[in-house]
Amino acid sequence: MEPTSEERTLAAVCHGCGVASSLFLPIIVCLVIYLTKRDESEFVEDQAKEALNFQITMFLLAAIGYLTIFILVGFAVLMAVWLGSIIFPIIAAVKSHSGEKYRYPVNFRIV
């Protein structure tokens, strides 16, 4: 069944909020949408869960980057996290807004 316009918009918001510069805002937004819509829409549940897992993954990788910054590996990790946190959520938001289920290429499935 094709997702409705509202479902596609909510899924795009979940992915798009990942571009926000705040550290915890994307996690909170994705979690709230996931918890409130998981019983109503399979599409929103799937995409909110995917976005939430990606945000948690980026948070953990950023923490590793900050912990390893003193041995210079952290700079590369933080640059990759920064680029990934901008590029992949934009792609995901566009795909999910068109009704496609998006899977991030680097994602720990936690939730």
Write down the pLDDT at residue 21: 62
Write down the pLDDT at residue 19: 85
Write down the pLDDT at residue 111: 78
CA distances for 60 relative to 8, 71, 87, angstroms: 28, 18, 18
Q: For 91, how many CA atoms within 13 A lie in the half-sphere containing its CB?
A: 11
Query: Is 70 exceeded by the pLDDT of residue 10?
Result: yes
- pLDDT digit string (tens) for 31-90? 999 999 999 999 999 999 999 999 999 999 999 999 999 888 999 999 999 999 999 999
